[in-house]
């Protein structure tokens, strides 16, 4: 496995993160002076090179036997204080390799796409700087060998997300959305930090390997500490991966440029929570309670977000809610013990959701910025390639065989049925139905039916340039083929990832994946889920193609419910009323009453009291000499009297 | 290390000589005065740099020590030296003073007097951090008050008189109490050993009776708590910051506030270990209250400087928390956080000052869309904001995290509450940033803004580099602190335990204090060990 | 019969008190000055009396010094009064209260 | 007997004149009364065997110092009306001061009568003094034991003269400006 230089590519893992960093620095410092094309090349090359290194790393890793596929490289001590050590080091194992491949692979395509998409923008270099910085942070997140370093990446991607959502900072809604994203993420990070603290206090280290090795010996299954750690970590995951109750930032995040939505808010960053849960699967399996919580939250989010997606009219918002819903699926899988299934869905989802977002971006680009689906329609003939790729993506997410989404989603449902209960399966199945419906609703409203575009828009609607179409095609291919990674009988990904799960030889009730499931059950489940998807598609077809008046009728009949869903269950408003406003009001009270009136009032009162006393005392200072003389004499007499009386 | 050349003394008094030299220059020669002041500050900073390199990190002894009897009759000596705790504050001071003089380039009014005040202030501040003699310490402590008073009172904003008197009286009230306590220690040392001395290292060895510890601690506490400022002694800070000129704010936030926290570490803890332990509940809760309170109040400020000032209250709450959890992570985090706060908040004040110079307003509502006109400033502003928020990879995080870690080890509940400060800091800083820098330019005044010039770049760039350095590779700093902090904690701990055993407390308490110390590996978390009601403890002490 | 020395002292006390009252009730700066001289004289008397009582010369010497001081004081005080009169056209002490701000 | 009579007469004159100093409206009368007070005191000094002091009292005090007073009164050309215009700002001052004065007298009386003065007796009894001469003794003391204070007194007088000149002269500088 050594090449002629005597080192493996595993040793060069640092380059995976170094290239994006270099890209960031070059574009950040020199970008203003460089031409747009150079900036674009630098940005793409950084990620492309990183992807190539990642590929070689994968190859090197495959040469090792499955049990030894863990490689750690430590660079320097980042923070060292007393017994606490945080070492900056990278860890390569199957899980992180899968992640870096997804991040750099999909990331590369989106970079390429961005060249075309953002070409008109004045701050082209700034965009690529941020994008490279994001990739850098994301890679640190997945490659980190300890919790604290992971937290750097974790917050780093949050920062980039903030910067990129607010990329068009002159738009008030964009900058507000960026801020919201960061702050909601911070709420999650609150849990993450506490989890890290608790982990250190419990295990005396924050290194992944050591923690996971020590965990089964230190903690009982179902112990409170394990539950607390995992729940706190999950709070972080909930924030980052936009689950109930912290999902509200993600739909707003669609204010950012579309490629950003595709990369950060669909394919990579938002799935970091899933990655983290899978990474810590050893801990999670120690706490059945947390697992249930994860599953319930995941399932509930899947259903809840899907229901909102049904009625949204903004093309990107539909996709955003679908992202939330799909990540809910992943958590559902993880919560039921199917960590690998979760990762598998993460990968396929990265392909098809990036594809869908990029496709929608292509549509938006073609329409000159229009995002409202009610003003689209019949785009099939104007943008054929976009249409085809988008159709593939839709089929994939709806779960039609043999597209990628089918396999992963089906496995999750299977997992839910075998390991969970009918309840979880029901959640998943209904969500799947809704997904198929709203995705095809989106497809039909956008590409089929009559054109509802305004004249001006219709005149210059066009197919997108090659730099946009190329990534679409590649991703479409991946969406078709990606599922075979986890094809039930081949199950490449299962075998590859198996060592990561339950590392430390802990007896895993959930670790074995679906091998023991009888093939009968498996195929019948496949049939059912396909059936569900088809039902959804048919309903969508009926409502939006054959009888377009139907949605209006239904909306009218169930006006109350419709309004609630259309307004996203008023969750934003509820949060505003329960958290934001009271906090601000309390702050105002603290400032204007406690600070100014009470504390400062007290201080000023002391001052005023002194002045007041002086006001009284100064009356004795008449300025009349004879008064002073009188006082002197009086004082003298008093002294004499005293001396007579007391001496 | 006993260096032959008295490097500390040179660094400390060079600015004073510079100030004296400036006296002989005519006030009209503004350029010349500015250049000379700057040159003095630069030379001073350069001379102070070898301290960092020559500092030996493997010893907890004071280094670069110089001890000369000054007033023998009263046992006052010129005893200076630094250890891992004061080293960085010393360097930070010489660095920020340089920045401040450069930041004051545009002052037109009485530039000579201004620069003299600045340089004298620098000597005072540097002196505080190196003094190992209580008298010397107190002298420097008061010395730096006067130029600061003048800087706010003469070159300040419209309400400067109110602010400056408030600042002065607040601080004096505290430091007078401290003077009484110092004298008490002085006479107590005489009573016990028959030697009159103000020497800190000798007074460290005193065995102070518990009742006296209680009152002495309180006296020192007020002096330092006001200086920090801890909630609820903080109200002088926003006023002083708002009225102070830019450089004044920077110095105030960057160095002066650190004197309080430094005082806690250098004096309160080692001198009164028992009282310090007794006060832990009260102080930690006050610190946490400060964190949350400062953050909440900062959120609704309309004035940029006030916002940053209240954020200081919040940040210094972390520092205090770190100091009073009595473990190495907390303490090192606290010290690091002092430096971080000096850098990031100092830089924020600089930036606010730059905006103010251009627009002559500090109201957030008057800004908006500034990024469009000032992209370079926006980058620096962003970095400072993020550093202040505590983004991992920047300096703020390292300190904050270590403090939280230390706190978590001693009291989980407080750590949890303190962590919410992390959320809140993001809220107020980003909201402010959004309103100032983002959105469309609505105010036509803002469309005429010019981006920062070279001088301003020279101000912000070094700070930014330091911010990244501390964020990414804080080891050179932490390793230099290690020995001193360890020594301090062990010292405090031993004294505390001897006191306890003398009091005849049972083994449990001893064990509890043992468990707080370093190098323990328990499998279970010790959830907030017997956090007694602070009021009850007070009552008990009084009896 | 010799006069008891206490009588001299009582006389001195009476003179001193009259002088003090004079300082208090007069508004004319010159008269106040004279009253002060009166008080000084009372003190001188007391000194001489004590000198006699103790059979010592020191008291008498002190009287000389007091006279010197009284002379100096009178000279300077009167000069001040003249300067004051030139500026304010009054020597009424009640009108001279600019020291109070 | 004669001595007692002389003391009583002189002390009565002294007190009467002192009261006159205080209560006269016209300053020139006050000055005259003061001179008379001093002269009467000089007589008392003689009774106390302090002849030189008595002489100095008459020449320096009653003569020189009081002349300055009278001179100043004349210079300022004050008359009665100057002090009478305007009401007094302190109506209670006069009665209060008189009461206070009476209290003071009582107090001093109490102190004088109650306290017994003791101490080492000096060598200069009246007999000795008469033998050597009062003036000679004073001179001896001034140039031996008290030579330093004596010289300082001269400096004081000199300073007073200079100060008086500076204070009393017209402020030329101010007028030039």
Grouping H, G, I as helix, E, B as strand and the rest as coil, residue B31 is helix
Instruction: Provide the domain count of chain C.
Output: 1
d(CA B149, CA B147): 5
Identify the pLDDT of residue A5.
53
Any idea which residue has 């005429």 for tokens?
B448
Identify the pLDDT of residue B528.
37
Closest to A55 (Cα-Cα) out of A102, A116, A1: A102
CA distances from A566 to A87, A243, A246, A298, D166 (A): 48, 19, 19, 22, 97
pLDDT for A605 beyond 90: no
d(CA D105, CA C17): 6
Whether C99 is in a domain gets the answer: no
pLDDT for B514 beyond 80: no
Can you give the residue range of the structural domain that contains C62? 5-88
Distance from CA of A634 to the nearest CA of D (A): 7
Core vs surface per residue B215-254: b (16+ CB within 10 A) or e:
ebbbbbbbbbbbbbbbbbbbbbbbbbbbbbbbbbbbbbbb
pLDDT for A601 beyond 90: no
CA distances from B84 to A541, B62, B81, B91, B318 (A): 73, 8, 11, 11, 20
Q: Which helix (H) or strand (E) holds B520?
A: none
Mean pLDDT, range D43-54, rounded to an integer: 90
pLDDT in tens, A38-73: 888 888 999 999 999 999 888 888 888 777 788 888
Mean pLDDT, range A611-639, rounded to an integer: 84
Identify the pLDDT of residue C100.
62
Strand positions, DSSP E, B83-182: none
pLDDT for A37 beyond 50: yes
Mean pLDDT, range A71-78, rounded to an integer: 85
3-state secondary structure A412-474: HHHHHHHCCCHHHHHHHHHHHHHHHHHHHHHHHHHHCCCCCCCHHHHHCCCCCCHHHHHHHHH
Grouping H, G, I as helix, E, B as strand and the rest as coil, residue B392 is strand
Q: What is the DSSP string of D97-110?
A: HHHHHHHHHHHHHH
Identify the pLDDT of residue D88.
65
Grouping H, G, I as helix, E, B as strand and the rest as coil, residue B23 is helix
Say which range, A250-264, B26-40, B409-423, D163-177, has the weakest mean pLDDT. D163-177
Question: Is C93 close to A626, i.e. CB distance below 8 A?
Answer: yes
d(CA B65, CA B88): 16
The H helix count followed by the E strand count for chain B is 24, 2
Question: Is A637 close to D89, i.e. CB distance below 8 A?
Answer: no
d(CA C24, CA C32): 8
Tell me the residues of chain B between 312 and 351 that have a Cβ less than 8 Å away from chain A.
327-329, 332-333
Closest to B258 (Cα-Cα) out of B146, B348, B144: B144
Closest to A483 (Cα-Cα) out of A405, A552, A541, A427: A405
Strand positions, DSSP E, B99-199: none
Mean pLDDT, range A452-470, rounded to an integer: 79
Which chain C residues are within 8 Å of A624, Cβ to Cβ? 93-94, 97
Which chain D residues are within 8 Å of A624, Cβ to Cβ? 89-90
Identify the pLDDT of residue A492.
74
The region that residue D86 occupies, defined by phi over 0 for left and psi between -120 and 50 for alpha, beta otherwise, is: left
Identify the pLDDT of residue B380.
92
Which chain A residues are within 8 Å of B439, Cβ to Cβ? 169-172, 175
Any idea which residue has 């010369």 for tokens?
C57
Q: Which helix (H) or strand (E) holds B111?
A: helix B111-130
d(CA A253, CA A67): 41
In sequence order, which residues have a C-beta less than 8 Å from that of residue A371 and are 6 or more positions away?
Answer: A314, A315, A316, A364
Identify the pLDDT of residue B318.
93
Identify the pLDDT of residue A6.
55
Mean pLDDT, range D132-156, rounded to an integer: 90
Closest to A184 (Cα-Cα) out of A138, A241, A257: A241
Identify the pLDDT of residue A374.
81
d(CA C51, CA D35): 24
Identify the pLDDT of residue B519.
41
Question: Is D112 close to C18, i.e. CB distance below 8 A?
Answer: no
Mean pLDDT, range B75-80, rounded to an integer: 90
3-state secondary structure A581-597: HHHHHHHHHHHHHHHHH
Mean pLDDT, range D56-62, rounded to an integer: 90
The region that residue B79 occupies, defined by phi over 0 for left and psi between -120 and 50 for alpha, beta otherwise, is: beta
In sequence order, which residues have a C-beta less than 8 Å from that of residue B529 and are 6 or more positions away?
Answer: B410, B411, B512, B515
Tell me the residues of chain C between 5 and 44 that have a Cβ less than 8 Å away from chain D.
6-11, 13-22, 24-28, 30-31, 33-35, 37-38, 41, 44
Terminal Cα distance for chain C, rounded: 59
Output the domain CATH number for residue C41. 1.10.287.3510
pLDDT in tens, B232-288: 888 889 889 999 999 999 999 999 999 999 999 999 888 898 888 889 999 999 999
Question: Is B434 close to A187, i.e. CB distance below 8 A?
Answer: no
Grouping H, G, I as helix, E, B as strand and the rest as coil, residue D87 is coil
Whether C95 is in a domain gets the answer: no
Whether C93 is in a domain gets the answer: no
Rg of the Cα trace of chain A?
31
Does D147 touch chain C if contact means CB atoms closer than 8 Å? no
Question: Is A623 close to C27, i.e. CB distance below 8 A?
Answer: no
Q: Which of C60, C78, C94 sits opposite D72 (nearest CB)?
A: C78
d(CA B298, CA B316): 14
Q: Is C21 within 8 Å of D100 (Cβ atoms)?
A: yes
Whether C71 is in a domain gets the answer: yes
Q: Is C93 within 8 Å of A625 (Cβ atoms)?
A: yes
Mean pLDDT, range A230-237, rounded to an integer: 92
d(CA B343, CA A599): 29
| D172: confidence class by pLDDT, cuts 50, 70, 90 | low
Identify the pLDDT of residue B523.
35
pLDDT in tens, A284-297: 888 888 999 999 99
Tell me the residues of chain A between 618 and 647 that have a Cβ less than 8 Å away from chain D.
624, 626-627, 630, 633-634, 636-637, 640-641, 644
Distance from CA of A640 to the nearest CA of D (A): 7
Whether C50 is in a domain gets the answer: yes
Cα within 13 Å of Cα(D21), Cβ side? 35
Inter-axis angle of helices A339-366 and A272-279, to 10 degrees?
170
d(CA A64, CA B331): 45
Closest to B237 (Cα-Cα) out of A254, A599, A247: A599
Q: Which helix (H) or strand (E) holds B79?
A: strand B76-82
Does B427 touch chain A if contact means CB atoms closer than 8 Å? yes
Identify the pLDDT of residue A502.
63
Is the dihedral angle over the CA atoms B320, B326, B329, B332 positive or is it negative? positive
Tell me the residues of chain D between 35 and 74 that have a Cβ less than 8 Å away from chain A.
none
d(CA B162, CA B158): 9
d(CA A282, CA A267): 25
Closest to A341 (Cα-Cα) out of A273, A412, A414, A278: A412
Counting Cβ atoms within 10 Å, is residue B109 exposed (0-12), middle (13-18) or buried (19+)? Answer: exposed
pLDDT in tens, A158-185: 999 999 998 888 888 888 898 889 999 9
* Nearest residue on chain A to B400, alpha-carbon basis: A193
Closest to A522 (Cα-Cα) out of A482, A489, A485, A483: A489
Calculate the CA A259 to chain-centre distance: 15
Strand partners, A79: A86
Identify the pLDDT of residue B516.
47
Mean pLDDT, range B514-521, rounded to an integer: 44
d(CA B146, CA B482): 35
Q: What is the DSSP string of C22-51?
A: HHHH--BHHHHHHHHHHHHHHHHHHHHHHH
pLDDT for B160 beyond 80: yes
pLDDT for B117 beyond 70: yes
pTM: 0.82
**Best D83, D91, D97, D116 residue to mutate vs chain A (most A CBs within 10 Å):** D97
Whether C100 is in a domain gets the answer: no
Interface pTM, i.e. ipTM: 0.76
The region that residue B524 occupies, defined by phi over 0 for left and psi between -120 and 50 for alpha, beta otherwise, is: beta
d(CA B231, CA B229): 7
Identify the pLDDT of residue A513.
44
The DSSP 8-state label assigned to residue B303 in this structure reads B
Closest to A16 (Cα-Cα) out of A61, A59, A60, A46: A46
Mean pLDDT of chain A: 84
Identify the pLDDT of residue A512.
43
pLDDT for A562 beyond 90: no
Beta pairing, strands A84-92 & A71-81: antiparallel
Grouping H, G, I as helix, E, B as strand and the rest as coil, residue B522 is coil
CA distances from A639 to A626, A632, A646, B5, B141 (A): 20, 11, 10, 61, 42
Any idea which residue has 């002894």 for tokens?
B61
| D122: confidence class by pLDDT, cuts 50, 70, 90 | confident
């Amino acid at each position: 496995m050594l090449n002629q230089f005597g080192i493996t590519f595993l040793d060069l893992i640092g380059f995976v993160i170094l290239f994006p960093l270099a890209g960031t620095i070059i574009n950040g410092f020199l970008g203003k002076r460089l031409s747009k094309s150079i900036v674009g090349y630098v940005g793409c090359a950084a990620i492309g090179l990183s992807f190539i290194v990642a590929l070689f790393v994968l190859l090197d890793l495959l040469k090792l036997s499955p049990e030894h596929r863990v490689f750690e490289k430590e660079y320097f001590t980042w923070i060292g204080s007393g017994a606490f050590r945080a070492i900056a080091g990278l860890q390569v194992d199957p899980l992180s390799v899968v992640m870096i491949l997804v991040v750099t692979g999909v990331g590369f395509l989106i970079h390429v796409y961005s060249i075309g998409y953002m070409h008109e923008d004045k701050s082209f270099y700034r965009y690529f700087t941020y994008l490279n910085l994001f990739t850098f942070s994301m890679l640190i997140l997945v490659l980190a060998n300890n919790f604290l370093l992971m937290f750097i990446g974790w917050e780093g991607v949050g920062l980039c997300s903030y910067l990129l959502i607010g990329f068009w900072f002159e738009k008030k809604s964009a900058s507000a959305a960026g801020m919201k994203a960061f702050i909601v993420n911070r709420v999650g990070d609150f849990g993450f930090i506490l989890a890290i603290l608790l982990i250190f206090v419990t295990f005396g280290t924050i290194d992944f390997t050591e923690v996971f090795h020590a965990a089964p010996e230190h903690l009982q299954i179902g112990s409170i500490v394990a539950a607390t750690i995992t729940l706190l970590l999950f709070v972080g995951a909930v924030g980052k991966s936009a689950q109930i109750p912290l999902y509200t930032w993600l739909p707003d995040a669609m204010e950012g440029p579309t490629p950003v939505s595709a990369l950060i808010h669909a394919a990579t960053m938002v799935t970091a929570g899933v990655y983290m849960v899978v990474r810590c699967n050893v801990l999670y399996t120690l706490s059945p309670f947390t697992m249930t919580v994860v599953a319930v939250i995941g399932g509930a989010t899947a259903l809840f977000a899907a229901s909102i997606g049904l009625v949204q009219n903004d093309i990107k918002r539909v996709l955003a809610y679908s992202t939330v819903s799909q990540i809910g699926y992943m958590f559902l899988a993880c919560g039921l013990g199917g960590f690998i299934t979760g990762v598998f869905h993460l990968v396929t989802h990265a392909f098809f959701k990036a594809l869908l977002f990029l496709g929608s971006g292509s549509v938006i680009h073609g329409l000159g910025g229009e995002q409202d689906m009610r003003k689209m329609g019949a785009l099939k003939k104007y943008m054929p390639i976009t249409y085809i790729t988008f159709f593939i993506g839709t089929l994939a997410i709806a779960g039609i065989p043999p597209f990628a989404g089918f396999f992963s989603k089906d496995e999750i449902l299977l997992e839910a049925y075998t390991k969970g209960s009918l309840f979880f399966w029901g959640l998943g199945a209904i969500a799947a139905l809704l997904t198929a419906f709203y995705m095809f609703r989106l497809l039909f409203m956008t590409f089929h039916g009559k054109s509802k575009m305004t004249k001006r828009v219709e005149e210059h609607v066009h197919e997108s340039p090659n730099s946009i179409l190329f990534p679409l095609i590649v991703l479409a291919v991946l969406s078709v083929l990606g599922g075979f990674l986890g094809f039930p009988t081949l199950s490449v990904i299962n075998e590859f990832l198996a060592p990561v799960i339950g590392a430390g030889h802990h007896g895993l009730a959930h670790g074995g994946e679906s091998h023991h499931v009888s093939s009968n059950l498996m195929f019948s489940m496949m049939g059912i889920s396909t059936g569900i998807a088809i039902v959804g598609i048919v309903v969508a077809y009926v409502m939006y193609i054959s009888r377009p008046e139907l949605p209006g009728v239904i909306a009218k009949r169930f006006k109350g419910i419709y309004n609630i869903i259309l307004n996203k269950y008023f969750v934003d408003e509820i949060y505003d009323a329960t958290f934001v406003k009271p906090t601000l009001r309390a702050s105002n009270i603290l400032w204007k009453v406690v600070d100014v009136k009470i504390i400062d009032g007290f201080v000023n009162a002391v001052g005023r009291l002194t002045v007041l006393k002086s006001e009284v005392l100064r009356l004795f200072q008449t300025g009349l000499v004879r008064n002073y003389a009188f006082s002197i004499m009086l004082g003298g007499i008093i002294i004499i009297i005293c001396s007579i009386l007391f001496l | 290390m006993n260096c032959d050349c008295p490097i500390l003394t040179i660094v400390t008094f060079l600015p004073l000589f510079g100030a004296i030299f400036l006296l002989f220059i005519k006030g009209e020669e503004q350029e010349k005065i500015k250049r000379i002041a700057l040159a003095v500050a630069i030379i001073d900073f350069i001379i102070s740099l070898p301290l960092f390199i020559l500092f030996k990190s493997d010893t907890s002894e004071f280094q670069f020590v110089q001890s000369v009897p000054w007033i023998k009759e009263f046992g006052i000596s010129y005893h200076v030296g630094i250890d891992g705790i004061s080293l960085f504050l010393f360097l930070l001071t010489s660095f920020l003073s340089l920045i401040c003089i450069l930041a004051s380039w545009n002052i037109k009014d009485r530039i000579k007097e201004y620069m003299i005040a600045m340089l004298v202030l620098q000597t005072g501040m540097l002196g505080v951090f190196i003094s190992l003699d209580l008298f010397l310490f107190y002298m420097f402590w008061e010395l730096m008050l006067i130029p600061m008073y003048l800087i706010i009172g003469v070159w300040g904003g419209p309400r400067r008189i109110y602010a400056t008197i408030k600042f002065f009286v607040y601080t004096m009230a505290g430091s007078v109490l401290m003077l009484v306590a110092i004298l008490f220690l002085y006479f107590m040392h005489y009573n016990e050993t028959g030697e009159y001395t103000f020497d800190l290292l000798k007074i460290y060895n005193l065995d102070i009776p518990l009742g006296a510890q209680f009152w002495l601690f309180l006296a020192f506490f007020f002096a330092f708590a006001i200086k920090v400022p801890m909630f609820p002694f903080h109200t002088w800070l926003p006023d002083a910051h708002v009225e102070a000129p830019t450089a004044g704010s920077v110095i105030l936030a960057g160095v002066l506030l650190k004197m309080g926290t430094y005082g806690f570490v250098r004096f309160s803890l080692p001198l009164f270990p028992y009282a310090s332990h007794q006060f832990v509940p009260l102080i930690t809760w006050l610190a946490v209250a400060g964190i949350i309170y400062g953050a909440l109040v900062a959120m609704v400020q309309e004035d940029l400087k006030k916002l940053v000032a209240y954020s200081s209250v919040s940040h210094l709450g972390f520092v205090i928390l770190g100091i009073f959890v009595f473990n190495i992570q907390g303490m090192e985090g606290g010290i690091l956080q002092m430096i971080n706060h000096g850098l990031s908040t100092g830089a924020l004040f600089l930036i606010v000052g730059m905006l103010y110079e251009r627009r002559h307003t500090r109201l957030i509502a008057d800004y908006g869309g500034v990024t469009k006109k000032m992209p370079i400033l926006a980058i620096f502003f962003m970095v400072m904001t993020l550093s202040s928020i505590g983004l991992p990879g920047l300096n703020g995080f390292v300190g904050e995290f270590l403090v939280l870690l230390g706190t978590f080890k001693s009291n989980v509940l407080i750590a949890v509450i303190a962590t919410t400060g992390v959320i809140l800091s993001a809220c107020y800083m980003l909201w402010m940033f959004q309103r100032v820098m983002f959105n469309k330019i609505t105010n036509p005044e803002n469309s005429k803004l010019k981006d920062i010039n070279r001088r301003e770049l020279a101000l912000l760039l070094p700070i930014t580099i330091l911010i990244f350095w501390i964020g990414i590779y804080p080891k050179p700093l932490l390793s230099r602190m290690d020995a001193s902090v360890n020594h301090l904690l062990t010292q405090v701990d031993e004294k505390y335990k001897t006191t306890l055993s003398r009091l005849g407390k049972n083994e449990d308490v001893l064990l509890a204090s043992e468990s707080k110390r370093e190098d323990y590996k328990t499998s279970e978390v010790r959830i907030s060990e017997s956090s007694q009601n602070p009021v009850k403890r007070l009552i008990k002490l009084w009896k | 019969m010799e006069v008891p020395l206490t009588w001299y002292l009582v006389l001195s006390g009476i003179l001193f008190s009259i002088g003090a009252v004079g300082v208090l009730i007069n508004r004319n700066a010159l008269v106040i000055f004279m009253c002060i001289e009166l008080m000084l004289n009372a003190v001188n008397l007391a000194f001489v009396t004590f000198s006699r009582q103790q059979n010592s010369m020191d008291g008498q010497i002190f009287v000389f010094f007091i006279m010197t001081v009284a002379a100096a004081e009178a000279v300077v005080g009167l000069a001040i009064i003249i300067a004051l009169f030139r500026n304010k056209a009054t020597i009424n002490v009640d009108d001279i209260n600019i020291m109070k701000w | 007997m004669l001595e007692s009579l002389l003391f009583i007469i002189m002390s009565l004159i002294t007190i009467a004149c002192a009261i006159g100093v205080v209560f006269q409206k016209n300053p020139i009368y006050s000055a005259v009364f003061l001179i008379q007070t001093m002269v009467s005191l000089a007589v008392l000094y003689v009774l106390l065997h302090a002849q030189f002091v008595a002489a100095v009292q008459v020449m320096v005090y009653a003569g020189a110092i009081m002349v300055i007073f009278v001179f100043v009164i004349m210079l300022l050309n004050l008359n009665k009306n100057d002090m009478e215009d305007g009401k007094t700002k302190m109506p209670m001052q006069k009665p209060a001061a008189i009461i206070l004065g009476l209290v003071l007298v009582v107090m001093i009386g109490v102190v004088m009568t109650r306290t017994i003065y003791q101490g080492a007796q000096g060598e200069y009894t009246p007999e000795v003094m008469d033998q050597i001469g009062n003036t000679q003794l004073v001179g001896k003391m001034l140039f031996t034991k008290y030579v330093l204070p004596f010289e300082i007194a001269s400096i004081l007088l000199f300073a007073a003269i200079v100060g008086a000149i500076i204070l009393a002269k017209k402020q030329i500088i101010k007028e030039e400006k």
